[in-house]
C-alpha cells in the first residue's frame, strides 16, 4: 500500500511517500480501507517528536481516518500511535465509531478530534454557563471554528473570536462570533476587554501559548477560566504562581483529548453522537480547510505550520 513514512524527525521535509506492507489487525482491531485522512496540528509535532506522546521511528503519522471495514461498515476512527497517512489503517474497535447517513467525510473527520475537543473544552474544562462571554483563539481553525458555533448554541452571551487575517475574522463572524479581533494585537489583554465592552471575559479557549496565553489570563474576570489545549506558537507561557490565581479566583486548565477515553460513561462516544445530531439538525457545521493528495502531505504540513489555514485539512489516499 501507499503510505507516508517518517524515518528521521523534523519538519515537513521528513514526510516521504513509500510502499509498505498492509497492516494486519490484531484482536479487537479493524482493518479500514481509508477514504479520507484527517490532518491535525498534532501531526506536525508527531513528525518532529515534540508531541505529548513520544514518537518512535520509523512511523506513519496520522491519528484519524474515515473509511470502510471488511464487512462494509462506514466508520471514523482514532488510531493508537499513528498509521493514518496510508491507503489502509488498523484501528481499535473501541476507538472506531459508526458514521450516520448524511454525515460526509469532512464532517466525520472534523468532529472526531476537533469537534470533541471543542465540546469537552467548553463543558468539562470551562463549564460554560448561559450568559457568559467566551474568547476563542484561532477561531477559524479546526477546533476554533466548531467552538464558536457550540458556544453560541449553548448560550454564550458574547463570543469573541481572534484570527490573523480579515478572511479568517470574516469566517468567524459568519459562524456566529459577535466580534472578531486581530490575533496579533499588541496587547491582547486590552484587546479582549475592549471587545467585551470594557469588561473582563469569563472563558478563554487557547491553543496558542506564549504571550497570548499570558495576556489572556490577565483578561479573565473573577472566576474566569482559561482552557489550554495546544501550543501552536511553540512558545511556553510564563509559569503560573498559585498565589496569582487568587487575585481574580482564576482557573487555568489543560486538556489532552486521549484522556477523555478514561472518563466513565462513554463520554467521548456520547459527545461525538451529540455533534453528529447537531450537524444533521443544521446547528453546527464543519469548515473545509483544503484537501491534499497523500503524495502532497508535505504541503499540508507546511500550510498548517504557517498558521495560514482555516477549518479542517484532509488527505486523499487515492492520489
Q: Rounded to two decimals, what is the model's pTM?
A: 0.91
Q: What is the pLDDT of residue 41?
A: 84
The grid cell for 36 is 479520507
Q: What is the pLDDT of residue 309?
A: 80
Domain boundaries, the chain: 2-104+286-316, 117-255
Ordered mean pLDDT values, 10 residues apiece, the chain (319 residues): 96 96 96 96 87 85 96 95 95 96 97 97 97 97 96 98 95 97 95 97 93 93 94 77 87 93 92 98 95 96 84 95
Q: How many Å apart are CA 7 and CA 60, to the nearest integer?
A: 9
Q: How many Å apart are CA 275 and CA 226, to the nearest integer?
A: 23
Q: Is it true that domain 2-104+286-316 has CATH number 3.20.20.10?
A: no
Q: What is the pLDDT of residue 216?
A: 95
* CATH number of this structure's domain 117-255: 3.40.50.720
Q: What is the pLDDT of residue 209?
A: 83
Q: What is the DSSP string of the chain?
A: -EEEEBSS--SGGG-EEEE-PPP---TTEEEEEEEEEEE-HHHHHHHHT-SSSPP-SSB---SEEEEE-TTS-EEEEE-SS---SBSEEEEEGGGEEEPPTT--HHHHHHIIIIIHHHHHIIIIIS---TT-EEEETTTTBHHHHHHHHHHHHTT-SEEEEEESSHHHHHHHHHTT-SEEEETT-S-HHHHHHHHTTTSPEEEEEE---HHHHHHHHHTEEEEEEEEE---TT--PPPPPPHHHHTTTT-EEEE--GGGGGGSTT-HHHHHHHHHHHHHHTTS----EEEEEEGGGHHHHHHHHHTT---BEEEEETT-
Q: What is the pLDDT of residue 199?
A: 97
Q: What is the pLDDT of residue 22?
A: 96
Amino acid at each position: 500500500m501507499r503510505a507516508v513514512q517518517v524515518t528521521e524527525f523534523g519538519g515537513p521535509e521528513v514526510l516521504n511517500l513509500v510502499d509498505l506492507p498492509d497492516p494486519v489487525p490484531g484482536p479487537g482491531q479493524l482493518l479500514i480501507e481509508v477514504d479520507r485522512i484527517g490532518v491535525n496540528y498534532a501531526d506536525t509535532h508527531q513528525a518532529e517528536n515534540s508531541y505529548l506522546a513520544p514518537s518512535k521511528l520509523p512511523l506513519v503519522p496520522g491519528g484519524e481516518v474515515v473509511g470502510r471495514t471488511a464487512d462494509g461498515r462506514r466508520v471514523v476512527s482514532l488510531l493508537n500511535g499513528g498509521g493514518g497517512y496510508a491507503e489502509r489503517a488498523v484501528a481499535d474497535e473501541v476507538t472506531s465509531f459508526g458514521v450516520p447517513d448524511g454525515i460526509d467525510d469532512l464532517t466525520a473527520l472534523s468532529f472526531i478530534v476537533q469537534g470533541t475537543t471543542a465540546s469537552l473544552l467548553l463543558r468539562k474544562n470551562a463549564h460554560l454557563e448561559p450568559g457568559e462571554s467566551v474568547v476563542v483563539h484561532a477561531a477559524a481553525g479546526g477546533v476554533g471554528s466548531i467552538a464558536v458555533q457550540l458556544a453560541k448554541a449553548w448560550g454564550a452571551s458574547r463570543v469573541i473570536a481572534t484570527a490573523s487575517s480579515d478572511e479568517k475574522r470574516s469566517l468567524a463572524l459568519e459562524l456566529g462570533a459577535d466580534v472578531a479581533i486581530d490575533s496579533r494585537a499588541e496587547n491582547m489583554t486590552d484587546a479582549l476587554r475592549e471587545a467585551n465592552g470594557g469588561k473582563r471575559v469569563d472563558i478563554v479557549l487557547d491553543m496558542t501559548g506564549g504571550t497570548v496565553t499570558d495576556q489572556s489570563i490577565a483578561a479573565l474576570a473573577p472566576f474566569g477560566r482559561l482552557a489550554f489545549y495546544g501550543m501552536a506558537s511553540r512558545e511556553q507561557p510564563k509559569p503560573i504562581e498559585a498565589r496569582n490565581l487568587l487575585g481574580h479566583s482564576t482557573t487555568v486548565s489543560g486538556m489532552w483529548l486521549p484522556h477523555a477515553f478514561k472518563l466513565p460513561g462513554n463520554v467521548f462516544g456520547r459527545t461525538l453522537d451529540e455533534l453528529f445530531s447537531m450537524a444533521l439538525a443544521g446547528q453546527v457545521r464543519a469548515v473545509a480547510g483544503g484537501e491534499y493528495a497523500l503524495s502532497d502531505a508535505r504541503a499540508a504540513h507546511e500550510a498548517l505550520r504557517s498558521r495560514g489555514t482555516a477549518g479542517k485539512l484532509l488527505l486523499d489516499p487515492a492520489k
